[in-house]
Structure 1
């Protein structure tokens, strides 16, 4: 099961143009590593999930490859290649190893993540 992380406030992470389309970056927000992805599939969208990959026990998801499986937008972990749904945090191959998600949005040309 994925877990949605509750939002108390929004933090500006960077300019949208600072993230190459269809890639991710890692941001340290209030002591938590957050993987932030800029997806451009005809329109720019952003997603944020926990950066920690429970399958490899490493903080690497921001370095994964962005793609899709059917209608799902996913990131493939760079270590064991498990796929994580960017909207839900679900690990497709092993749902027990899913990650938390954060709300993310674009406003004023910046990427904002809710904490």
Structure 2
């Protein structure tokens, strides 16, 4: 059983690859002072970077769990999400309202993807 971990810290690994599957830890925005649209976009930009480093991409996403601080931001977050997900490649997805680790964070995502063949 081969498990590859990237950016390993005491508490978590940023990326874990096992058996052709990529697991990303929760990703948040680059600048928490921004609104939901920019927080969502920069969070998804980070997902793109991590998937690429792991040998995957958004067309190979299997599952995503999106956490929003307040469901009032659901529609605006979805506008950015929908533009980002390639047509015909939407992952299984859940979206829940959740308290964030820092109050200024509006959105977070965890992604599972297949490694490109």
Q: Give the structure-1-normalised TM-score.
A: 0.30
* Structure with more helix by fraction: 2
Q: Give the structure-2-normalised TM-score.
A: 0.30
Q: Which has the larger radius of gyration?
A: 2
